[in-house]
Amino acid sequence: MSTSQIALLASVQQFLDRQHGLYIDGAPCAAQSENRLTVWDPATGQAIATTADASPADVDRAVMSAWRAFVDRRWAGRTPADRERILLRFADLVEQHGEELAQLETLEQGKSIAISRAFEVGCTLNWMRYTAGLTTKISGRTLDVSIPFPQGARYQAWTKKEPVGVVAGIVPWNFPLMIGMWKVMPALAAGCSIVIKPSETTPLTLLRVAELATQAGIPDGVFNVVTGSGAGCGAALTAHPQVAKVSFTGSTATGKQIARVAADRLTRVTLELGGKNPAIVLKDADPQWVIEGLMTGSFLNQGQVCAASSRIYIEAPLFDTLVSGFEQAVKSLQVGPGMQETAQINPVVSRAHCDKVAAYLEEARQQKAELISGSAGPDAGGYYIPPTLVVNPDAGLRLSREEVFGPVVNLVRVADGEEALRLANDSDFGLTASVWTRDLTQALNYTDRLQAGTVWVNSHTLIDANLPFGGMKQSGTGRDFGPDWLDGWCETKSVCVRY
């Protein structure tokens, strides 16, 4: 099997070689802060670029640029059809530069180039075009006044949708381009302005995409990018008094901090947070479907997926068969750098995250848990964690309760489906879940009783632009996607006219 890597596009190398600053008011610009952050290649541990570490003053400059653009209605005042046309042109430019963006994504995040092409570019384009189409579907309602006052008075009443204002979008490092566009596109479709902050680990693709947005015709100041640490840049952004809405994807701990800050000014928030997502496998399930579906559901992007299946509860009659099948599948995975097209498992995003995942596994080893691991990967300075099955781990282990966010999945034997359901719901999280069975009646019974924002049957991690997505419990507040998506980026105003 080939271990050669794809050739780097000249445009990618040129972009890496730039002195990256911020993107404010329609153009790249230097930060006032002289602090720099290094972007590392997870496959080698080598530096590939540096970016600005924005100060609170830099953040203020970006937010005020967005605020001026919103107040003078250079974007919000355009017709919905005009905004839709420009957003579709934006999507076309992302498609034209798709290979460049995919390579940047793999270099800074570590994921497979195939996943970057299919998800970070391909799926992102689907979401961009879907959301652009919603621009012309924003509408209010005509309503009757139910109790006119004074008696006999005549009224005409209606509602209208207005953009909420300046949006702060905080983007995680696992799917920077795709999740970034999940924030940019609904904001722009609704007529808002946005300041987006990518993770300091993976800032490059959103800096490049901002240039494409300007090229597409999105007015200056409507789409701004600030780079920097969460504690500095991110905190200043979410606390800014001109920010009307915060859309955050990331850890539950950080989401709680943002919610506390937002509560002080009653800033609108959408939080898509962590998950410890269960899969329930009933004894009549098709073993081949289960293995194929949950290998992807568990190990896609090295398990660095908020919706990933990280604990699989298997009814006893099928348990040994599936453990054997998963073991064969895990040990057959080829581990290597993301730029190697044949590699199926790639490095995790950073040295710090690699150490964190390794600590979970070390605790399990010390507690005598049964671990089944695949290849350890290249020994060349990269951030590799072998794909690992943890068989019947003790419920007290941290990896049984916490979101590991790595290529680690627990396989747990249960007596029956009711025990599986009890264990599945015994969690602080409630993002996703799946049920595996040939019995549709059984499947629907479990979908009603699982405490999760999304429940799949005989699949896992299917996320679609037309299906609302979000979590229960400590997995978040609000919903993204679906035909009503833009409601979360608008205010509803009631108008009542007496005549």
| pLDDT tens sequence across 261-288 | 999 999 999 999 999 999 999 999 999 9
Predicted local confidence at residue 377, as pLDDT: 86
At residue 495, the pLDDT reads 98
pLDDT of residue 165: 99
pLDDT, averaged across the chain: 98
The partner residues of 412 in beta bridges, in order of sequence, read 313
pLDDT tens by residue, 147-165: 999 999 999 999 999 999 9
What domains are there in the chain, each with its CATH number? 10-273+476-496 (3.40.605.10), 277-465 (3.40.309.10)
- Residue 1, pLDDT > 60, answer no
Q: Cα 253 to the chain's mean position, in Å?
A: 16
Beta bridge partners of 497: 156
CA distance 110 to 347: 6
Predicted confidence (pLDDT) per residue in 172-205, tens digit: 999 999 999 999 999 999 999 999 999 999 999 9
Q: What is residue 381's predicted lDDT score, i.e. its pLDDT? A: 85
Cβ neighbors of 171 (< 8 A, separation 6 or more) are 179, 180, 183, 196, 197, 198, 199, 206, 249
**Region at 151 (left for phi over 0; alpha for psi -120 to 50; beta for the rest):** beta
Give the model's pLDDT for residue 432.
99
Output the pLDDT for position 4: 83
Structure confidence at residue 2 as a pLDDT band (50, 70, 90): low
Spatial separation of the C-alpha atoms in residues 138 and 402, rounded to whole Å: 40
pLDDT tens, 59-96?
999 999 999 999 999 999 999 999 999 999 999 999 99
Q: Are the C-beta atoms of residues 145 and 157 closer than 8 Å to each other?
A: yes
Instruction: Give the pLDDT confidence score for residue 3 in this predicted structure.
Output: 72
Distance (Å) of CA 416 to CA 68, 277, 325, 330, 413:
60, 19, 20, 26, 9
pLDDT digits (tens, 9 = 90+) for 374-419: 999 887 789 999 999 999 999 999 999 999 999 999 999 999 999 9
| 284 in Cβ contact with 488 (< 8 Å) | no
pLDDT at residue 349, rounded to an integer: 99
Catalytic residues: 272
Using CA atoms, how far apart are residues 80 and 25, in angstroms rounded to an integer?
Answer: 22
pLDDT of residue 379: 76
- Residue 411 Cα distances to 109, 401, 420, angstroms: 28, 14, 12
pLDDT in tens, 451-479: 999 999 999 999 999 999 999 999 999 99
Q: How far apart (Å, rounded) are the C-alpha atoms in residues 52 and 19?
A: 9
Residue pair 335/376 in contact (Cβ under 8 Å)? The answer is yes
DSSP state of 78: S
